[in-house]
Structure formats: structure tokens, C-alpha cells
A and B are shown apart, each in its own frame.
Chain A
């Protein structure tokens, strides 16, 4: 965190000065490790074994928070008899279809009830048909039909959890992760000691957790720990995702993703022929998603103001998903000639994406490419300076792609919001005008849309209606006619029938009388005030600082904060007092905005027929879930299992110590000649790629480098691509400190300067030494500071939940000296492929 988020890390340092214990778990020793109380080196790709070990430690030593777990989680819920665990099926859960490589989760359900997922696609089976929330059975008095409050039933979640993690012992952690028993025990015990009524602990993670073929399940394992220890919905607790750069949180809230609409509403599928069908498929009868009809209708009204009951509020204007349109399958399609045009805004896939070579080859197969950036990045210049030009794989004269490079305004040159990991929106004022032809992205999108609409308006073709009916009348400012970001924020926040700004999402209606561009952002312009622009000093408000910026939803600083009070509504302790029930007033109150129906008493029990939040108990804090409980076991919403299970990375030099099933059985892999994979442990040829490689960032550079490799003061601080290796690996491979090394995979080979350091620790795993090679991924052939791109080495192997690439763990070889030039590089790679049988 100090390495990649140095500004945010000031708060960790402040916590440390106040007595917090800081533990850093990371394959490499960084600036964070240097100031942490404990650094634990871990084998890249083994975190579920490590975290699962903590789950087991908590359960076996009775360190869980009983009052919290019994009431606030689904520990007591009984799971259907058909469910079989990975412990029963040697690494597979019940419902696996080996031909499709996917699960049918019918057997993972609550007994007598189908609980729908709280977010994303509410899909019941891999056939693509979405779960019918209304068919999901029902809560009875707020409880699932079958529970065992004593937590003894062999099929209750708590016992299934215990069984699932029983073999994740300290010895297994040591054997799998290379973490000595004493270090593991210190981490586990520290977490337990610092959790409970008086204390809370937080997990902070970044792409070191997500960029794996089991990425979503890493976070899930942390969620299980935090629920068992009572660290969710409470001050100082939680699981905090640090993003790759500013407002990545915002880019999923108001998504740049293909499969969701603003506010995590699923994108419609072809089966959703009308709005009601879509609503029926995506509205669980219980919990706050029960108002999905109001959220989607208000969104449609914000986009298409001419919507009425008669035209179904223009629901037909929304595109439908017909397949996997995430970025990597799209790139493969592009490579195969199936994509003609491509917009790149603020992204440099020719350096920053997994198997970046494949991206360059794909972009060379486009008709046109629009790149908007601060600098002419590698993804705009590949046609003349990609490494493939040197090898002869690309010939400039033969590339038909017409590249339009458009200069973009920097963050200081435009107004708007950043949404950070706390869901806090902070307004950014324009500090100066962009130079020359540089324009904001908002300017580009608005004027592009305006021009397209002008062209379409002349055609009178009904299929143009979705574009022509759009609300596209933003006021513009200044001589460049920059659209008002303030006006966009007002549209996002929403208005009622009288045109007044709404105060929050509870005001939204399904009858078309309200508009809202993103229901979770409803109220960010409440009272006609730009709430994210508030900057009241800390000294003039409470420690929660509710008047600094604005947090979604409804300015809540901690989600699910009803869990900061016990089931009866009293604070768990004075020290951790946050939100509580005021019996005299008959209301929830506290330092934060209560994340609960404000007048629902803790002893409320839903009457038969209650809907949405009224169908949840007064002591069920997780109000977006269909049962109001934190899910230790996830019956619906994940593609690869209800419990996180240790699988090896798709490429690994180590066998799975627990199961015959080596890697995640649902991994999205693309078996084609331009995406070869390495054999893994036990397969012939695995010894050709014996080392683990992992990518990361340095403080001095930013992601794919466009904003830092082009600046002299940053480039001089990290002037060249390098690799980090241990002295033992340097000896084993004859690498000289300060000299060159070539890192080889079946995709390509890159060169890097050698940094031999004892900060890289060889790990003892399953009786052998595993060496890891650390690779910063910032470099490319352009800029002041240039070098080969680490991402060229990695294959496309994706997590099946979120389709993220596995670039935090794969295998490689390392050899001394610079890489071959020109066609000789291709010969080296074919030789490796031949030897490995890849």
C-alpha cells in the first residue's frame, strides 16, 4: 500500500502511531514491509490456503464472535441435502459440468428456499437463464425455512464451513504458502486478538488479490474471516479494495463494464423482452433489491425522458447481452477479424493488459482505432514501434488500422468527481484550461454524441431511436463548449415529479415520475447542493466527517452499519459505539447515517406477505442480501463455488496439496496457438518453466507508464525495467547484479536489468524451494524511461466470475544476458515451446 498508494498510506501510519499492528502479506518486501510490524512473504497464488488457514484457526480455537455470527450471518441456515463439498469430491463442488467447465448451483441452495445474489447477474444456472427471484421460496418471519440456531446440524452453514476448512491447518499453510508456522500463527492470533466487542481489524487489498483465476474467491475468504470475527459494518473493520487508479470504484458504480447498468443493475438479456420480465427476473422478494423496479425505471426516465407506460419507458432501447463481451474475448475476436473499430480512453493495453503482445496484434487488425490520452502511448504507436515490428511479425506497411490519436485533458484541467474505495465522492474543480486541442473525456463523449445525433436525425430510421431519444442537452461552458459536469451529476442524483433534486433512493418510484441516473448515487445533489464538493474541515465536525464529500448510498460512511450494534440495537462496546437503536425516539441513530430502515425496531419480525426490506428481521443488518445476513456460504452469485477453495494458479510449478483438481475448474482459458500455456507441476515439460513470476508496481511509476515514463523527474528515479531475484536464484541461474536477464515464457521473452536482493525470499514449499521473480509492469518502448513490458509474458487465463486476468502468478524461466533481437527472438520462443510441449 505504501508502494502503490503512498498518499492513502498516511492513515495507516497514523493508525500505527496510535497503536495499530500493521501486518503485510506479500511475495515481495516493499516500502510497506519496511514499516510494517510484520512482513510475511507468501508464494504468489496461494492466498486462499493462507486465509483458509485463518478460518480454520478461528473455528478450531473457538475465536469467532458468537453473538454476531449466530444472528448476523447465515451460519445457522441449513443447506440442501444435494450439496457436496470439495472435500467430498476431491476439489469439485456438486453441480459441475465437465464439458462446459461450469457449475449448476441448484444444489448449493438453502433448504426450501432459493436465495438470489445481492449483486451482478442473478443467474441460477449456466444456461444463461436468470434466477426468478419471485420463485425463490420465501423467508418465514424473516428466517430461511430451515435453520439450526444451535449451529449443530451437519448441513448448517457453520458445520459445512468447519468441514470445508478442517484440512487448512498451520502445517498445510506452511507446505503450500511457504509461510513458517510461527509467522502464520502470529497473523491468525493478531487478527483474533484485535477483533471482538472492543476492537476491530481491517483487510486492505489490491490487485495482488484480484488478478488471479480465483480472484473473487480471495476476497470471499477475507469476507468469511471478517464475518466470523465480527468485523463488518463496524468502525475500523471491513475489507478495503485499493484501486489501480483514481475513481475505479466510480467506474463500476457508473459502469464502464459490459454486463451491468449504473448501480449494479444487471444488463438485460434477450429473454427480457419487456421491462416487467426484466424486473421479475431481477427483483428478489426480500431485501432492498426488492425495489429494483423503481431503480431501473428511474434510470430509463433519466436517459429517455419521452418514456411512458405505453412505450414501456423505452426499455426496448437498452441493448441486450448475447454473450461474453468482456475485454479479453473481445480482443481475441479483434485478432480474428471480428471487430472493426475500437475506442481506447485512458487505457494502454499494449503495455498494461495480460498478453499485451496479443493486444498489439489484435489492434493491427482493426479498421480504425481512437486513442485519447495525455501522451502518444504504445497502444497508439504500435504500428511503427511495437516489438513485433522488430521480429517481423508486424509490417508497418501492411497494417490497415487507421489510428486517430486525440489529446486528452488531465485531471487538473476538468471538473468532475472521484469516487474512492470508501464510496466517497469528492468533487474536483477545474484548476486550469486544457492546452491547445486537449479536451476532457466528457467533452469528447458529449460532442461525439451530438454530432452522431445530428447525422442520424436526417435518416428517419426507427433503429436510431435509442440514440435520438436520449437526454443529451447538457449546458456547455467556456470557449471550448465543455459540457457542465455539474449538470451530469444532477442527472445522476435524480429528480422528482416536480423537478426537485431527490434526497435519496427511497424517494425513487417505479411509475416514471422520478428520474435517477444511478440509484445508489441518488441524493448526491440533494437540496440542489453539489454534496461531493463539501469540504468542511475536520475540526468543525464529528470524527466521522459526514460533511466532507458525499458517500453512496445516502452519505453512509460505513455500509451495513446496523451491525455496529448488537442484535438488541445496543453498541457492542462504548469504544466501538457507532450506530444504535434509540428506544425512546423509536429510531436508529448514531455518528453515521444508519444503513437500515430508520424506524425498524431490533425486535421487528416480518408479518406474512411482507416485501423488500420489510421482509427482513430487525436484527438482520445486511439489507441488500435476500435474507439480510452476511453470507459465509454463498448459494447464488458466484460461478466457482459457495466456499473459497485453494486451487493452484493456472500455471504453477506446485501440485495442489489438497485436491486432485489442480486449478480452478471454471477458469476461462483460450486454447489457441497465439495463447499457449505452460505445463504445470506433474505434467511433462513443467521443468522448462520452473519459476513463479508476478507483476507489480513501483511508487515512482503509474500503471502502464503514460503519466510517469514521460516525466523526467519520475523517469530518473526508476529509469529502467528490472527484475527482482533472490541471491539464491541469481546463483542458480548465473545472474549478475546490475547486468541483464532474459525472462522467458511460451508467449515471448523480455529483458530486464537484474536487481539481486535478499528482499526476495526463496520459499520452501512441499519439500522443495520455490523461487519467485518480481516484475514491475510499467515499461514499454516509448517515453523517457523505456523497457520491455512484463505483461507480454503472461497468458490469457481468467477468473470465471469477473473475467480478470491472472498476472499475479504464472511460471517462467530466467537466463542471463539480453534477449535475442529480431527473428532470433521467435526462434528462442519456439525452442522453449518445443521443449515444454506447450
Chain B
């Protein structure tokens, strides 16, 4: 993951001198393990307040969805997946990290 400057239109003029270059997250999902450190780092760097949802019961994800106080979110989707030995563990599931982020 790295912050990359990308060519985008200028920010709305209302930002005036506060306008900053447009940046986004690059996430390589092929090596992402869903540790959510990017969620924490995003909040740290941008001084985004905590907004606890309590225990959601949604796998290991308790941060829910993107919002005013969550500019980056790693969702966990539990789904059945045949593993290397199909007859061994027919009920095994895979947990996949689905990444969402708000470009800001």
C-alpha cells in the first residue's frame, strides 16, 4: 500500500489555498491479509475520530462501512471455498478481505 499522486482535476476552488494534490490508496489485494493496519493508519494520519459500532457479529469486522469517520474499510466476507483437499474439509470457508477506501 502506498500513497500515490495521480493526475486528477484540480480540487474545488472553495478549498482555495488549502487545496492539496489528490491522492489515493494503492492496495495489492494479492498479498493483503486483512490486518486493518491501513484503517488505523488512515485515522491516525488524518485525525479521524473513533466511531465504535460495538460488536457487529460480522466475522472479524467491527468497523462496518465507510462513512464520515471511516475513510478506509476492510470488510471480511466469509464464503465456502473448496480447499486443496476437497473431500477433507467440505465445510471450510475462506475469509477474504475486500477493501474499500474513500479517496480524499
Contact = CB atoms under 8 A, between A and B. Distances in A.
Interface of A: 2, 6, 9-10, 13-14, 17, 29, 31-35, 37-41, 179-180, 182-183, 186, 698-700, 712-720, 722, 737-738, 753-755, 757-759, 761
B54 A720 contact: yes
Given A6-B33, A180-B87, A719-B54, A698 B60 contact: yes
A13 B94 CA distance: 17
Contacts of B78: 757-759
Contacts of A717: 36, 39-40, 62-63
Q: Which of B33, B52, B59, B94 has the most CB of A within 10 A?
A: B33
Contacts of B34: 2, 31, 34, 699
B92 A761 contact: yes
Contacts, number: 114
Interface in B79-104: 80, 83-85, 87-89, 91-97
B37 interface: yes
28 contacts: A2-B33, A2-B34, A6-B33, A6-B37, A9-B33, A10-B31, A14-B31, A31-B95, A35-B33, A38-B85, A40-B88, A180-B85, A180-B89, A183-B85, A698-B60, A715-B50, A716-B52, A716-B63, A717-B62, A717-B63, A718-B62, A719-B52, A720-B54, A737-B57, A753-B57, A754-B57, A758-B80, A758-B93
A713 B54 CA distance: 13
Contacts of B40: 713-714, 717
A37 B50 contact: no
Contacts of B95: 29, 31, 33-34, 759
Given A10-B31, A720-B54, A39 B83 contact: yes
Contacts of A757: 59, 78, 93
A13 B33 contact: yes
Contacts of B10: none
Interface of B: 30-31, 33-37, 39-40, 43-44, 50-57, 59-60, 62-63, 78, 80, 83-85, 87-89, 91-97
A719 B62 contact: yes
A422 B51 CA distance: 39
Nearest to A183: B88
Query: Which 7 pairs of residues, A with B, have the shortest CB-CB distance?
Result: A183-B88, A712-B50, A738-B57, A716-B52, A38-B84, A6-B35, A34-B95
Contacts of B54: 719-720
A722 B44 contact: no
Given A698-B60, A716-B62, A719-B52, 8 more contacts: A17-B30, A17-B31, A34-B96, A716-B53, A718-B62, A737-B57, A759-B93, A761-B91
A419 B60 CA distance: 31
A753 B31 CA distance: 31
B89 A39 contact: yes
Contacts of A180: 85, 87-89
Contact of B55 (A31, A714, A738, A761): A738
Contacts of B52: 712, 715-716, 719
A14 to B, nearest CB: 8
B89 A758 contact: no
A716 B85 CA distance: 37
A719 B55 contact: yes
Give the most central of B30, B55, B59: most A CB within 10 Å.
B55
Contacts of A715: 50, 52
B88 A758 contact: no
A718 B59 CA distance: 11
B57 A755 contact: yes
Nearest to A41: B89
A753 B54 CA distance: 11
Contacts of B97: 34
Contact of B35 (A17, A39, A699): A699
A2 to B, nearest CB: 4
B8 to A, nearest CB: 28
Contacts of B43: 713
A759 B92 CA distance: 6
A698 B93 CA distance: 18
A2 B35 contact: yes
A267 B34 CA distance: 45
A62 B84 CA distance: 25
Contacts of A38: 83-85
Nearest to B56: A738
Contacts of B83: 38-39
Given A13-B31, A717-B36, A41 B92 contact: yes
A179 B88 CA distance: 8
Contacts of A755: 57, 59
A163 B6 CA distance: 66
B88 A31 contact: no
A281 to B, nearest CB: 48
Contacts of A716: 50-53, 62-63
Nearest to B36: A717
A754 B55 CA distance: 10
